[in-house]
Amino acid sequence: MRLGIDLDGVVANFNGGWITFYNEEFGTSLGSDVIDSWDGIPAATHFASMREFWDWARYLKGASLFRHLETYDGAVNTLWNLAKSGHTIVILTSKPYWATHDTYEWIAEHKLPTREVHILDEKWQVDCDVYLDDAPHNIYDIHLHRPDRATVRFIRPWNHPVPGTHDVATWDEFQSFVDAHQA
């Protein structure tokens, strides 16, 4: 099957990443669980808007934030297991235009088992059998446009159940879901 895999909040620990940089630079002690809503960053920081946040996140230690992110436990291993089982790993990630090259470098550094990367907002435009995402609007839109495919929500504090879609809490659960799913 073609597995459409999101990066930030699913494979890459986006919030953990920016929070580490933020605490270091501004002397704060925000916990890694401070974000519990989509676009909740301005409320948790001194940034007045997401625009201000992105202006900051664009230049951090010689690259953008996206170049520095760590992977979630189990993410890369599970992707390799799925790829070895014959599935095609299709990366579907939304990024600011200035993060394009950092995104490819990050994928290469972490050796994700993929030969197909799409950097785009409307992820449903890429035909997959299973989609895995954490963003509320993506989960909703993918299911709306591809109701006959499996849309899987990676449960995070900033998302919520969407009727007709599936939930997983861990990468092991995603592996089990794919194993049990027939395209």
In this chain, which of 71, 134, 151, 171 binds Mg ion, going by CB under 5 A? 134
Q: Count Cβ atoms within 10 A of the Cβ of residue 27 and give its class: 0-12 exposed, 13-18 middle, 19 or more buried.
A: exposed
Helix runs in 4-95, H state only:
14-26, 41-44, 50-57, 65-68, 75-84
What is the per-residue binding string for Mg ion in 77-116, x denoting contact by CB under 5 A? ----------------------------------------
φ and ψ at residue 86, rounded to 5 degrees: 105, 0
The nearest distance, CB 134 to Mg ion, in angstroms, is 4
The nearest distance, CB 182 to Mg ion, in angstroms, is 26
With CB under 5 A, what is the number of residues at the site for Mg ion? 5
For the chain, give me the number of helices (H) and strands (E)? 8, 6
**CB of 36 closer than 8 Å to CB of 19:** no
In this chain, which of 9, 131, 141, 174 binds Mg ion, going by CB under 5 A? 9
Binding segment for Mg ion (CB under 5 A), chosen from 9-17, 47-55, 74-82, 118-126, is 9-17
Residue nearest to Mg ion (CB): 9
- DSSP notation for 117-135: EEE-S-GGGS--SEEEE--
129 binds Mg ion (CB under 5 A): no
**In the complex with Mg ion, which residue's Cβ is closer, 25 or 114?**
114
Instruction: Report the interface residues with Mg ion, using CB under 5 A.
Output: 6, 8-9, 134-135
